[in-house]
Structure 1
Amino acid sequence: MSSSSDGSIHRWTKDGKPIGKPWVSDGGVVGSIGVSPDETMVVSGSADGRLRLWNIKEGKMVGNPWKGHNDAVICLNWSPDAVEIATGSYDGTIRRWNPDTGRQIAPLIKTSHGWVYAVKYSPQGDKFASGGSDKMIRLWSKKGELLVEIKGHADAVTSLCWSKDGTRVFSASSDCTIRTWQSSDGKELIVLRGHTKAVTSLCLSPDESHLISASRDCSVRIWNLETNQPVGDPLLHDGELLALAMSVDGNYVVGAQLYAKAYVWSLEAVLKQQGCDQVGVRIHRYCYWRLH
């Protein structure tokens, strides 16, 4: 699924064929989307500061837009048990919502981030992490209490993900680095360097053996988490990358770039060719869409 600055959400096969008609939001740029854990619903965040819930099977919006944020919604995440959704905005707040009612379930959190670029629940669902334009990462309890404040990046924190056991947090930044932190106390464990421009998105392979990163330097990189080294050459695109996603089975990686294009890569093929010439693992399949 993809969202775009044209206000639409599209569904695709991995071969790049559209599925049904696009869903059209009247809230302007759709800056973020998230599929529910049971894959029946999608929530989207828009430039008008509202959220919209969509039924995948029926292909239409459920109820009215959710009101709360005072500026564009930049990021969102479903809790692992699907009972709440956390959202971050240009208004500097994190809000949490009941997806069944569209109502906020807790007081808003004034983060001090400035712009909130990333919010991510731990796999256990007992806490969540946020990152923003103030270069900081903050870990929060489910009650909204600040647990840990992490300093280390030299520019905005753009993307976050957790290890399965919740002991580590991975972060991407506009300072061109990817860092690993101990979630209990915010201790920095590893710094990965290789990208030459802002790192915009991260995802972790299902077996946690590899971390995948996308960057405005027009590349996707795969990192071996045992050696903390890149695997082979970067996967090159012909535009700056804005978003990254991995299929649930871990077989495919999608890099979505500026100017309405996305590449789909076979991760298995790339790993088989690690350290070799990239020509053999170029584009596995591709599709096009409008990017926000």
Structure 2
Amino acid sequence: AINSIAFSHDIAYVVSGSGNGTLHIWNKGSAKEVATHMTMTGSSSTTSVAFSHDDTQILGSGDGTVRIWNTESGEEVAKMTGHSDWVASVAFSHDSTQVISSSLDCTVRIWKAEIGEKVVKIVGHSHWVISVPFSHDSTQVISGLLNDTVRIWKSESGQELIRMTGHSDSVTSVAFSHDSTNATSASIDGTVRIWETASGQRRSPQRLPFSAR
């Protein structure tokens, strides 16, 4: 099974993470596989993948670890450990100097990408954290929880800035707008909601004909 996919920023390649712990890189134009050598050692599943902004590195997660590989050579360049349960979501900061990860251990962690050192541990979530990207300027992170809440945090300190409620079921995906003035969230309740990040005010939800997973 394929658990996660991501485009490279130049849209030339796609990386996929599989249930057997492997990562595969595909040429988008030809649909041919160009690399298969990267694996989540000791993990039975790769749950989240992402390219760095310059596409030179690939980020992957599975068990309690987060790993970075060189895209061209497949060499593992950093391994981040500390989560006590499966890692559900990973992302690079816009400048690719930091990595963020969320876990079923109810924490979010920010790491230095180059050396894999933990910078900030964000605690206070009462449920599994399913989705967690940076804002475009990397000063904030947004987390979507297995319950019905969305939270925004200060990335430097881990301080909670605002909490947004309104979904009636698990939040499966969250994202910032490019200027970080708005955030969006998708939920199993079948709605996509847009929020003003300064106030947490909810705009009119868009109901989907299916649950968002």
Q: Same fold (TM over 0.5)?
A: yes
How far did residue 95 of structure 1 move?
1.2
C-alpha distance in 2, partners of 1:188/1:64? 40
Residue 80 of structure 1 corresponds to: 53
Q: What TM-score do you get using the length of structure 2 for normalisation?
A: 0.94
Q: Paired residue for 2:81, among 92, 110, 120?
A: 110
Q: Does residue 132 of structure 1 match 2:81?
A: no
Change (3 A) 1:34 1:223: same
Residue 132 of structure 2 corresponds to: 160
RMSD of aligned C-alpha atoms?
Answer: 1.4
Change (3 A) 1:82 1:63: closer
Q: Does residue 35 of structure 1 match 2:1?
A: no
Q: Paired residue for 1:184, among 122, 131, 156?
A: 156
Structure 2 gaps of 5+ residues are none
Amino acid paired to 2:65: T
Residue 279 of structure 1 corresponds to: none
Once the two structures are superposed, residues 201-241 of structure 1 have per-residue CA deviations (whole angstroms, 9 ceiling, x without a partner) of 01222232321101111111111224321111x21123221
**Are the aligned partners of 2:130 and 2:143 in contact in 1 as well (CA < 8 Å)?**
yes
Once the two structures are superposed, residues 121-146 of structure 1 have per-residue CA deviations (whole angstroms, 9 ceiling, x without a partner) of 11121111111101101111121111
Residue 13 of structure 1 corresponds to: none
**Are the aligned partners of 1:153 and 1:175 in contact in 2 as well (CA < 8 Å)?**
no
Once the two structures are superposed, residues 3-54 of structure 1 have per-residue CA deviations (whole angstroms, 9 ceiling, x without a partner) of xxxxxxxxxxxxxxxxxxxxxxxxxx11100101111011000101100000
Alignment of 1:21-100 (within 5 A): 29-69=1-41, 70-89=43-62, 91-100=63-72
Residue 241 of structure 1 aligns to a residue whose secondary structure is: coil
C-alpha distance in 2, partners of 1:159/1:220? 14
Q: What TM-score do you get using the length of structure 1 for normalisation?
A: 0.69
C-alpha distance in 2, partners of 1:218/1:65? 38
**Are the aligned partners of 1:94 and 1:111 in contact in 2 as well (CA < 8 Å)?**
no
Residue 250 of structure 1 corresponds to: none
Same amino acid, percent of matched pairs: 34
**Structure whose alpha-carbon radius of gyration is higher:** 1
Count of residues in Structure 1 that have an aligned counterpart in Structure 2: 211
**Are the aligned partners of 2:136 and 2:179 in contact in 1 as well (CA < 8 Å)?**
no
Residue 195 of structure 1 corresponds to: 167
C-alpha distance in 2, partners of 1:149/1:200? 21
C-alpha distance in 2, partners of 1:145/1:190? 27
Residue 161 of structure 1 aligns to a residue whose secondary structure is: coil
Amino acid paired to 2:56: V
C-alpha distance in 2, partners of 1:44/1:178? 27
Structure 1 gaps of 5+ residues are 1-28, 243-292
Residue 156 of structure 2 aligns to a residue whose secondary structure is: coil
C-alpha distance in 1, partners of 2:119/2:128? 20
Amino acid paired to 1:149: K
**Are the aligned partners of 1:53 and 1:65 in contact in 2 as well (CA < 8 Å)?**
no
**Are the aligned partners of 1:113 and 1:136 in contact in 2 as well (CA < 8 Å)?**
no
